Chains A and B, each alone.
Chain A
Amino acid sequence: MFYREAGQFKTSYSADQAIFPIRQDRNFLVALFIFAYLAVPMIANEYWLSTILLPFLVFGLAALGLNILTGYAGQLSLGTGGFMATGAFAAYKLAVAFPDMNIVFVFLLSGVVTAIVGVLFGIPSLRIKGFYLAVATLAAQFFLVWVYNKFGWFTNYSSSGVISAPPRAVFGDFFVTGSSAGAIEKYLFTLTLVLVLALAAKNIVRSHIGRSWMAIRDMDIAAEIIGIKPLATKLTAFAVSSFYIGIAGALWAFIYTSSVEASAFDISRSFQILFMIIIGGLGSVMGSFLGAAFIVLLPIFLSNAPTLFGVTVAVDIISHVEFMIFGALIIFFLIVEPHGLARLWQVGKEKLRLWPFPY
């Protein structure tokens, strides 16, 4: 009875089209916003900020990128790791070449570079579909990682092959990368950037561009017949998706791990992000973040659960169990709820609207 729309009538199409048409949703969002910006920095400790919230945000962004390509446009991609690597190395080269460029621009530009690379590898998508396309993206994955490992130019010929991200401030003293950056600054910066990008993504998927992606996904032949240009639509999906994934890669390297190395972006990373969008919900902005949260939290839960029960379990056993749970969950979600956690969330809200009535 608290979560009802009664009395909330939309008197214009624009009101109907708002992202959160129900007033209770908007209030919840405002509360979440305040919590995220004010409460969290005050109550969260360094561990939570650095090892849980930061990767959650960065993974969420990467998952969002992949969701745009795979969930909305229906183009299965296993090359996410390679594209993240592209973003990370592009950011590194840009940051070193233009030391005075604001870090925000560095990230945005690295996204653009990744978008270009993404479009190149997306060109085959006009002729090939489904898991054939997945193989093409595998080519991208292995080739890109090989390139970044092989050619010293990307690491500025560093002898160890591992480079650390140069320190940068957003303004004045507000360092977000490098050793002088505090966890809170990193968190707030990443939070803001991710929120802005997520909002942009939500707007795009609701527009005619998003609809043409979904049309191509659902029935590409019919889409072409009603006038949607298949190559342009698919390449736009690759571009936007790679833009997001590239920025996520740059954030990963600069803000989360503070080092830029290709091995962080191997094929397992691609699968990890794919799992996020399957579990979180294909074709859902919120689902991308739910999936990211799930995959970030699950290993932590698994490592800590045994101690809660007073049992010690070896580390490698935990990683095997993790694999098993991931695999089982993927299968479970695909069978029970292919739209993932996002759909479960929606169903929950539907039930809440009717509460306390059963139907």
Chain B
Amino acid sequence: MARTFGEVLLNVDNISLSFGGVQALKDVSFSVREGQVLAIIGPNGAGKSSMLNVINGFYHPQHGTITYQGQTRSRMKPHQAARQGIARTFQNIALFRGMSTLDNIMTGRNTKMHVNLLWQALHVGPARKEELEHREVVERIIDFLEIEHIRKTPVGRLPYGLQKRVELGRALAAEPTLLLLDEPMAGMNVEEKEDMSRFILDVNDEFGTTIVLIEHDMGVVMDISDHVVVLNYGRKLADGSPEEVRSNQDVIGAYLGVADG
């Protein structure tokens, strides 16, 4: 099925990243169009998470640039990335364990809440209004992700699958233009994966959010992504539609190992 996409939203250009003596990424380039779902795949240690970390400014590459919404830069602070509409989830869940589901997702609205300290202290007028407005937005997200029943539960007590859903909710709360998902289905059973895939596709469908996700499950990748980038040992191995990548000899070799003789 043909999908139309907008302009290039994100352009990754010759990114190289190393830590001490370890080269995590070498000369990786690809681009993502508005409205696309792009999957980054590759064996463990290929540099996929590092790539996401570079995109949202957590790691600073030694070489190369990122062009986002037309602006090119080689380094950016994470909270600046957030304010420019990039949101993400993490491989090992990075939720705020001391807070409830509701509060965690509300923190996703932080960049949009501005009423100052004095009004907050009084909790009248603008402070109340702002809090209630954002509460409503968050409740809609909670509705969308079907997590009403756990909204007041401290997230530390939730099972893994639900925590991942709350983390997605927190990322969605920021109303991002670009959503980075680091192994959103890791550790889930078939049912949970189906739910999560549905949520991701719904987000892409309804809000037009551009999505870059790291995923190991090939079935999921084939199903939901428009475009696939394959990384291996920090280098880009292939770049194309799911079907193209699936039949690419180099990719098969990287995953399965090349037979001798």
* Chain A interfacial positions (CB closer than 8 Å to B): 13-14, 17, 200-201, 203-204, 206-209, 211-212, 214-215, 217-219, 221-230, 236, 240, 283
Tell me whether B135 and A222 are in contact (CB under 8 A).
no
User: Which residue of the partner chain, among B87, B96, B108, B110, contacts A219 with CB atoms under 8 Å?
Assistant: B96
Tell whether B65 is near chain A: CB-to-CB under 8 Å.
no
Number of interface residues of B (CB under 8 A): 43
Tell whether B90 is near chain A: CB-to-CB under 8 Å.
yes
Shortest distance from the beta carbon of B143 to any chain A beta carbon, whole Å: 13
Tell me whether B99 and A218 are in contact (CB under 8 A).
yes
Shortest distance from the beta carbon of A174 to any chain B beta carbon, whole Å: 25
A230 to B111 alpha-carbon distance, docked (Å): 12
- B residues within 8 A CB of A225? 56, 58, 78-79, 81-82, 88, 94
Tell me whether A224 and B79 are in contact (CB under 8 A).
yes
Tell whether B190 is near chain A: CB-to-CB under 8 Å.
no
- Which of B124-132, B220-228, B246-254 is the interface stretch? B124-132
- A residues within 8 A CB of B107? 208, 211-212, 215, 223, 226, 228
A90 to B58 alpha-carbon distance, docked (Å): 42
Tell me whether A200 and B174 are in contact (CB under 8 A).
no
User: Which residue of the partner chain, among B56, B58, B95, B117, contacts A204 with CB atoms under 8 Å?
Assistant: B117
Closest 6 CB pairs of A and B: A227-B82, A222-B94, A218-B96, A200-B121, A227-B111, A203-B123
Tell whether B153 is near chain A: CB-to-CB under 8 Å.
no
A200 to B81 alpha-carbon distance, docked (Å): 33
User: Which residue of the partner chain, among A204, A208, A229, A230, contacts B121 with CB atoms under 8 Å?
Assistant: A204
Tell whether B109 is near chain A: CB-to-CB under 8 Å.
yes
Given A203-B123, A225-B56, A225-B82, decide whether A217 and B98 contact each other with a Cβ distance below 8 A: yes
Shortest distance from the beta carbon of B253 to any chain A beta carbon, whole Å: 35
In the complex, which residues 124-165 of chain B have their Cβ closer than 8 Å to any Cβ of chain A? Answer: 127-128, 130-132, 134-136, 139
Residue of B nearest to A230 (CB): B79
- B residues within 8 A CB of A229? 79
Residue of A nearest to B90 (CB): A222
A240 to B116 alpha-carbon distance, docked (Å): 13
User: Which residue of the partner chain, among B87, B99, B122, contacts A203 with CB atoms under 8 Å?
Assistant: B122
Residue of A nearest to B129 (CB): A14
A243 to B8 alpha-carbon distance, docked (Å): 49
A36 to B82 alpha-carbon distance, docked (Å): 48
- A residues within 8 A CB of B106? 208, 211
Number of A-B pairs, beta carbon distance below 8 Å: 107
Tell me whether A204 and B120 are in contact (CB under 8 A).
yes
Residue of A nearest to B111 (CB): A227
Given A211-B106, A226-B108, A226-B170, decide whether A13 and B132 contact each other with a Cβ distance below 8 A: yes
Q: What would be 23 A-B contacts, judged by CB atoms less than 8 Å apart?
A: A13-B139, A14-B128, A14-B132, A200-B121, A208-B109, A208-B113, A208-B120, A209-B117, A211-B106, A214-B96, A214-B99, A214-B103, A217-B96, A221-B78, A222-B94, A225-B58, A225-B79, A225-B82, A226-B108, A226-B110, A228-B79, A228-B110, A229-B79
- A residues within 8 A CB of B97? 218-219
Tell whether B63 is near chain A: CB-to-CB under 8 Å.
no
- B residues within 8 A CB of A204? 117, 120-121
- A residues within 8 A CB of B130? 208
Tell me whether A211 and B110 are in contact (CB under 8 A).
yes
- B residues within 8 A CB of A236? 117
In the complex, which residues 44-94 of chain B have their Cβ closer than 8 Å to any Cβ of chain A? Answer: 56, 58, 77-79, 81-83, 87-88, 90, 94
Q: Taking each of A207, A226, A230, which has the highest tally of chain B beta carbons within 10 Å of its own beta carbon?
A: A226
A224 to B94 alpha-carbon distance, docked (Å): 11
Tell me whether B96 and A227 are in contact (CB under 8 A).
no
Tell me whether A203 and B56 are in contact (CB under 8 A).
no
Given A228-B79, A228-B110, decide whether A17 and B131 contact each other with a Cβ distance below 8 A: yes
Shortest distance from the beta carbon of A272 to any chain B beta carbon, whole Å: 25
Tell me whether B131 and A283 are in contact (CB under 8 A).
no
A208 to B99 alpha-carbon distance, docked (Å): 13
- B residues within 8 A CB of A218? 95-99
Tell me whether B99 and A211 are in contact (CB under 8 A).
yes
Tell me whether B82 and A211 are in contact (CB under 8 A).
no
A227 to B103 alpha-carbon distance, docked (Å): 15
Shortest distance from the beta carbon of A209 to any chain B beta carbon, whole Å: 6
A54 to B233 alpha-carbon distance, docked (Å): 67
A165 to B68 alpha-carbon distance, docked (Å): 61
